[in-house]
Every structure is written in C-alpha cells, then in structure tokens.
C-alpha cells in the first residue's frame, strides 16, 4: 500500500488524538493563567508540526491484521516508516513522549539539537533523511512550541521503532560528522532587511519547517541539497527523489512558476488544485498531511515568496497563441492528426484531459502549458502513466479523481509517443521522450 492512500485518514486520526489530548491537558491546567498559555503553546506546536509534516515521516504504514479486513492505522509519531536510501532502508524514530521507546527523556536542548544539528542525545548522528539541514533555521520560539507539543500534546507509544541497519561503512554514524561540517547549514532564519514581513514569513516557512528544498532542490554527489535559500543559484530549481521529479519553483515561464499567479499557488497548496493544475506524485501527500492545514496568511506568504524567486534553470516553452498551437487545435477539430502519439492521446487521454488539453476545472488537470508536463526530467510523467494516481483528498477541496494506470495498455514506445505529443502540442514545446527513457524508469520502478 502506498503512503498516499493511508495518510489522509491517518492525518485525521492524528489530529483527533492531538486535539483530544490537548483538551485533557487544557482541562488539567484549567484555572491557572499559566495553564492557558501552555495550552495555546501546545496548539501552536501542533500547527507547526503540521507545517513540518513530522507525522508524514514519523508514522509507520498501516498494517493488515486479517485478510480482507481494513488495514489498522499505525499510531501517529511512533516511527517505523521505512525510507529508501541508496544505501538501504532508514527507519524513522518514535518521537512520542514515551520515556523508553520515544523522546520522553529529551530536554528542550536535546530536542533543539536533534532537530537543528541532527544529533540525538548520546551523540548519535542522524541520517539526513531527517531534514535537519532545513530545520536548523527554525526559530527558538517555534522550537519551544514544537517541544511543548511533543512533550504534552502527543500520546506516548511504548513500542520501539525498528533499528536502522545499513551496511558498512554507512552504519558508521559518527562519520556523518564530516558530512555535517561540509554540507549542513548553521543558524536560525534571519529576516532579510530589504523585504517586508509577508515575504520573510514565506521565506521562513519554505526554508525551515516546510523543508520544500528537500524535494525541489537538486542534490549534489553526497546527497546534499545544492542550496538552502534563494542566495544559491540552484535553490528550488527542481530535484528528483524516489523517482518523482519535483519541478522548478522559480519564475521560469516554461517549467517553473512564471505563469502561475500567487493566488493559484496558494490554492494549489490548500486543496491540490490551482490554475488548472492538479497535484500528483509525492506532492499529494505533502498537500494532504501538511499544506492543507496552513492558514491563508501563511499560504499567501509562501506564494509571495515563491513568486519573488527570479527565473532560474529555464526549460520548456509555452505559447498558446503560436501558429503551431492554432494548427493543432484546427487539426483536432477536423480529425486530421497524424503525429505519433496523437492517436493514443485521442483514444486514452482526451476523455479526461480534453482534445484541446485544457482539462476540466476542479477535476482533471490541463496539460496545455502545464509546467510539470514541460519539465526537463520526465521521470514523473512516465511514473504517473505507468502507476496511475489520484488527486488529493483535502478538507473542503474537490473530490479526489483517479488517473488510470496505463502499464497494461500501452507499451514503452506508445508511452514515449504520447508523452512527446503532450509536450509538443497546444503551444507546449519540450524535449521528446524516447522509449529508452520509459524503459529505464520502468526498470527502476520494477513495473
């Protein structure tokens, strides 16, 4: 089972548990002004934990107890989610306040050091699968609220998470000290003096709690992110993780956010739908577990910050008014489309994405001018066609819709043709996709 299918209900459970515990805690403290302040601090910590998606990584997949019975959800924050790395599986830790299995013995300083420096008590160095290089920027105020939440707002779970056992030399955690020296940034977020409060709020969220760069920034040879703020040229210009390509979030008008408005970006983060785009791949769980819970002020700030990033790493083009765009529109009307891939598109894709590539608002994404379709890496496009997908389930958002899997219906050549077609029709222009590109992604996915 994929994380995507269970994180929706899981998030609901986590919130319900967190809220009920908060209520008990608040009741315990009732009567004292200090108690009320603590409850507010814990609630703020719960919100920040959503912004940072702690539950997404620190909750194991649901397990089957009996054949045919619905899977049992794993307790939130009890760890044990396996994350693939080039060296083997890394399991997330139990971060509930249990004294033995979890982090109940952590002092505030232990907590801040684990989050910012990637060093757990006893000097255990954490693998950067835990995004401490981004969390290094979390302010002291927010760190205190997170600590209050994890100590008093999360129910303890006594089951230890499985041990991570990587082969030698990757099991030598002390050696991460060198990685940290060279690559991990230091210092909490410092507001830019020349920017207003909204921009700084957005920059702070994106760079620290949101750890957006963990997916959207390309990585170097030692798995380090090539930059942690807009002062680095490669920051947020697109990266591949787990065979999903997270696109360029700078102002590139081709495959970046150059043609998206701040309002579209905020809507996309709130419900996974914005400006005709629909989130897919690993971004679905980011929206479901994390960004949908952010308030409008914070979503707008994130959008304003992203829109301020100058165009970098340009790739792909879109011109809806071009002659080529008019010609395809005409050819589709008269049924005279001979380009390879056009037939596959008409038979298998147009019923949802429409002949003119415009999609259906709140249901199916437009492919015309879609930055993800124009991206330099086509890994995500191949993966989506082979595996299929479903749009996110959010509070108050559009109903989730499925994109079918074409693994059994189209061969590698047909997939390459239809992808090349959607990348070069309706005014889209991007490099073609070859059958070899398709087969190498399928081999890596074992699909």
Minimum gap (Å) between residue 431 Cβ and ligand HEC: 15
Minimum gap (Å) between residue 27 Cβ and ligand HEC: 25
Minimum gap (Å) between residue 345 Cβ and ligand HEC: 6
Q: What are phi and psi of 355, to 5 degrees?
A: -60, -35
Q: Rank residues 68 and 86 by Cβ distance to ligand HEC and give the closer one.
A: 86
Minimum gap (Å) between residue 436 Cβ and ligand HEC: 18
Give the span between the Cα atoms of 206 and 211, in whole angstroms: 6
Minimum gap (Å) between residue 32 Cβ and ligand HEC: 27
Q: Rank residues 126 and 136 by Cβ distance to ligand HEC and give the closer one.
A: 126
Minimum gap (Å) between residue 330 Cβ and ligand HEC: 21
Q: Rank residues 251 and 371 by Cβ distance to ligand HEC and give the closer one.
A: 371
Q: Rank residues 148 and 283 by Cβ distance to ligand HEC and give the closer one.
A: 283
Distance of alpha carbon 21 from the chain centroid = 28
Minimum gap (Å) between residue 415 Cβ and ligand HEC: 8
SS3 string, the chain, reads CCHHHHHHHHHHHHHHHHHHHHHHHHHHHCCCHHHHHHHHHHHHHHHHHHHCCHHHHHECCCECCCCCCCCECCCCCCECCEEEECCEEEECCCCCCCCCCCCCCCCHHHHHHHHHHCEEHHHEECCCCCCHHHHCCCCHHHHHHHHHHHHHCCCCCCCCCCCCCCCCCCCCHHHHHHHHHHHCCCCCCCCCCCCCHHHHHHHHHHHCCCCCHHHHCCECCCCCECCCCCCCCCCCCCEEECCEEECCCCCCCCCCCCCCCHHHHHHHHHHCEECCEECCCCHHHHHHHCHHHCCHHHHHHHHHHHHCCCCCCCCCEECCCCHHHHHHHHHHHHCCCCCCCHHHHHHHHHHHHCCCCCCECCCECCCCCCCCCCCCCCHHHHHHHHHCEECCCCCCCCCCCEECCCCCCCCHHHHHHHHHHHCCCCCEECCCCCHHHHHHHHHHHCC
Q: Rank residues 204 and 406 by Cβ distance to ligand HEC and give the closer one.
A: 406
Q: Rank residues 27 and 295 by Cβ distance to ligand HEC and give the closer one.
A: 295
236 within 8 A of 212, measured Cβ to Cβ: yes
Q: Rank residues 62 and 272 by Cβ distance to ligand HEC and give the closer one.
A: 272
Q: Rank residues 52 and 60 by Cβ distance to ligand HEC and give the closer one.
A: 52
Minimum gap (Å) between residue 200 Cβ and ligand HEC: 16
Minimum gap (Å) between residue 349 Cβ and ligand HEC: 3
Distance of alpha carbon 298 from the chain centroid = 17
Q: Rank residues 146 and 438 by Cβ distance to ligand HEC and give the closer one.
A: 146
Minimum gap (Å) between residue 221 Cβ and ligand HEC: 20
Q: Rank residues 73 and 415 by Cβ distance to ligand HEC and give the closer one.
A: 415
Give the span between the Cα atoms of 61 and 68, in whole angstroms: 17
């Amino acid at each position: 089972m994929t994380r995507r299918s269970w994180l929706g209900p899981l998030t609901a459970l986590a919130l319900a548990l967190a809220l009920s515990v908060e209520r008990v805690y608040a009741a315990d403290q009732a009567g004292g002004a200090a108690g009320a302040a603590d409850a507010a601090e814990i609630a703020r910590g719960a919100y920040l934990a959503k912004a940072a998606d702690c539950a997404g990584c620190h909750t194991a997949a649901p397990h089957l107890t009996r054949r045919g019975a619905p899977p049992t959800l794993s307790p939130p924050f009890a760890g044990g989610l396996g994350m693939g790395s080039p060296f083997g599986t890394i399991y997330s830790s139990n971060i509930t306040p249990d004294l033995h299995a979890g982090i109940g013995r952590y002092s505030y300083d232990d907590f801040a050091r684990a989050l910012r420096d990637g060093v757990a008590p006893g000097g255990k160095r954490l693998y950067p699968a835990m995004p401490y290089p981004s969390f290094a920027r979390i302010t002291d105020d927010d760190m205190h609220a997170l600590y209050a939440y994890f100590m008093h707002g999360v129910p303890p779970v006594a089951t230890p998470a499985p041990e991570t056992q990587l082969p030698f030399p990757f099991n030598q955690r002390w050696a991460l000290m060198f990685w940290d020296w060279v690559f991990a940034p230091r210092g909490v977020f410092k507001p830019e003096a020349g920017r207003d409060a909204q921009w700084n709020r957005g920059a702070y969220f994106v760079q620290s709690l949101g750890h957006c760069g963990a997916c959207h920034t390309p990585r170097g040879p030692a798995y380090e992110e090539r930059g942690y703020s807009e002062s680095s040229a490669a920051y947020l210009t697109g990266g591949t993780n787990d065979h999903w390509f997270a696109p360029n979030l700078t102002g590139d008008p081709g495959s970046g956010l150059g043609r998206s408005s701040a309002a579209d970006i905020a809507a996309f983060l709130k419900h996974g739908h914005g400006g005709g785009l629909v989130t897919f791949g690993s971004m679905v769980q980011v929206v479901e577990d994390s960004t949908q819970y952010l308030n409008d002020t914070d979503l707008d700030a994130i959008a304003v910050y992203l829109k301020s990033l100058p165009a970098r790493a340009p790739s792909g083009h879109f011109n809806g008014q071009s002659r080529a765009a008019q010609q395809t529109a005409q050819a589709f009307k008269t049924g005279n489309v001979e380009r390879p891939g056009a037939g596959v598109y008409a038979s298998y894709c147009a019923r949802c994405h429409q002949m003119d590539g415009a999609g259906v608002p709140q249901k199916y994404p437009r492919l015309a001018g879609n930055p993800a379709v124009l991206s330099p890496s086509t890994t995500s496009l191949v993966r989506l066609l082979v595996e299929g997908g479903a749009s996110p389930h959010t509070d108050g958002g559009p109903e989730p819709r499925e994109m079918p899997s074409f693994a059994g219906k189209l061969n590698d050549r047909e997939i390459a043709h239809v992808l090349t077609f959607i990348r070069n029709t309706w005014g889209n222009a991007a490099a073609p996709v070859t059958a070899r590109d398709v087969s190498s992604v399928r081999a890596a996915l074992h699909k």
